[in-house]
Amino acid sequence: MAAAVAIKISRFAAAALAVALLSMQCASAAVLPEDRADALYHSYSGGGVKISGPSILVQKQLGKHASVNANYYVDSVSSASIDVVTTASAYTEQRVQKSAGVEWLEDDATMTLSYTKSDENDYQANTAHGSFTQEFFGNMTTLTMAYEKGWDVVGKRNDPTYAKDNDRQNFSLGVSQVTTKNLLLNLNWEIIANQGFLNNPYRSARYLDSTAEKGYSYEPEIYPNTHTSNAVALGAHYYLPYRAALHGEYRLYTDTWGIHASHYEIGYTHPWRKQWIFDIKYRFYQQTHADFYSDLFPYESSQNYLARDKELATFSSQDIGFKVTYEFASSPARFIKKSTINFAYDYIHYSYNDFRDLTQNTAAGTEGLYGFSANVLQIFFSVWY
Amino acid sequence: MPHLTRFIVVVCLLSGCSIQPWVKPYERDNLADPIMSLDRDPVSTAYISHVHEAREAARGAEGGQGGGCGCN
């Protein structure tokens, strides 16, 4: 009986769905990415770390249904961060990331596939990504589903035999909604699950040791082998009564390591004359520490999992930034439709609530709390062809 | 219960297919303006997301894609 009802319902549902699909408006608002190339130089400087390098992104349509893209990105790192100067030696290294993707458009649906490979001397990451996007209800609602699988190998400098796996899976769901003729809302949810070696092999945990000169010693960190996180973000873009836009975003995050985090961002975009666009933004982020985090453990091997990674500490950060875009009045070549030069600057300040600055020589556990500021610069040139 | 389920399925689907766009395509000039783009400069958005993600525990729901962190 139950089976018969189920079949009946499924037939009914299929018929209703068919009606719904047939009655949808086919305004075909789904579009492929524009033909565009960007050449960016980035620079990060803060907390004893300097990272800079280029990022080149090229997007090109092939016919009416396909678009391909490729990105080449480099991080040249010079690090003397607080972790490095207190437990190891300063180092330099380079990370090169290459990715390629294809997007296919069919009526109101788009499908994307991409592959990313990242190499540095002590970390290899491979990521395959696929997504499906469908527009509904007169192209007012856009639903995106994405799946990603990552295969990372964690290495260690000066130890070519050291290789630990870290596998990752991401599943995300996003809805974007045209709400009024001036308001666009979007909601995204993503679950990420890791399995494998999740430590940073260079970081150490600190514990009280009365026999040590400073009153404390170090031991290797031990992380759980699994990590699952959930994040949900709500965003809004609003077109003001004059030609300018406001945007806002709020994200909530929680994971199986006991970390709770949230951030919000607000921004304002103001075009000026025909050629300028000015953006300003403010972002506030905060998180609680992981269950197995401590700045100073009471004794050696005091618990199964141990971490003193400042990324797992309780902290907050504030980011204030601006971007200026200038569109050239004339094209340098016939095939170029438009070109812009852009400059962006972000000032970010990090304040830690339970991570202490061990460069201060005071009694163990009484050192001042750590904090640092970072300057982030981007300059990029974009052409549309 | 099966009746309730059937009722919900039918109402959801029929209400879905009867939804008409209350913002007509010709009323979407403002939404189509590049300053309203969710990601006006993808190369820049990806970079600044990476800057945050490498230093924060939180991750996801930002539309970014894979890669190493350069932060070992």
pLDDT digits 0-9 by tens, A178-219: 999 999 999 999 999 999 999 888 899 999 999 999 999 999
Residues of A (120-179) whose Cβ lies below 8 Å from B: 120, 122-125, 127, 129, 136-140, 148, 150, 152, 154, 168, 170, 172, 174, 176, 178-179
Return the number of other C-beta atoms located less than 10 Å from residue B61's C-beta.
26
Q: Best interface-test mutation with B: which of A1, A9, A78 has the largest number of B CBs within 10 A?
A: A9
Q: Best interface-test mutation with A: which of B27, B49, B71 has the largest number of A CBs within 10 A?
A: B71
- Report helix, strand or coil for A95: strand
Beta carbons of B65 and A75 less than 8 Å apart: no
Do A207 and A221 form a contact (C-beta atoms < 8 A)?
Answer: no
Tens of pLDDT, residue by residue over B41-54, are 999 999 999 999 99
Distance from CA of B72 to the nearest CA of A (A): 6
Do A257 and A225 form a contact (C-beta atoms < 8 A)?
Answer: no
- Report helix, strand or coil for A221: coil
Of the candidates A284, A347, A356, A283, the residue with the CA atom closest to the CA atom of residue A313? A356
Distance from CA of A232 to the nearest CA of B (A): 6
Residue in A23, A181, A263 closest to B31 by CB: A181
Beta carbons of B22 and A200 less than 8 Å apart: no
Query: The pTM is what?
Result: 0.88
Of the candidates A57, A100, A377, A169, the residue with the CA atom closest to the CA atom of residue B59? A169
Distance, in Å, from the CA atom of A272 to the CA atom of B30, rounded to the nearest integer, reads 16
pLDDT reading at B13 higher than 80: no
Tens of pLDDT, residue by residue over A66-117, are 999 999 999 999 988 888 888 877 889 999 999 999 999 999 999 999 999 9
Return the number of other C-beta atoms located less than 10 Å from residue B26's C-beta.
7
Residue type at position A220: P
Half-sphere exposure for A203 (CA within 13 Å, toward CB): 21
Of the candidates A145, A148, A156, the residue with the CA atom closest to the CA atom of residue A126? A148
Beta carbons of A188 and B57 less than 8 Å apart: no
Tokens 């075009």 identify what position? Answer: A271
- What are chain A's domains? 2-384 (2.40.160)
Q: Specify the pLDDT at position B61.
A: 93
Q: Specify the pLDDT at position B52.
A: 97
ipTM of model: 0.90
Tokens 């806002």 identify what position? Answer: A248
Do A247 and A220 form a contact (C-beta atoms < 8 A)?
Answer: no
A-B contacts at Cβ under 8 angstroms = 228
| A238 to chain B: closest CA residue | B36
- Residues of chain B contacting A192 with CB distance shorter than 8 Å: 59-60
Beta carbons of A137 and B19 less than 8 Å apart: yes
Distance from CA of B57 to the nearest CA of A (A): 6
How much is the CA Rg of chain A, to the nearest whole Å?
A: 25
Residue in B5, B38, B56 closest to A261 by CB: B56
Q: How confident is the model at residue A13 (pLDDT cuts 50, 70, 90)?
A: very low
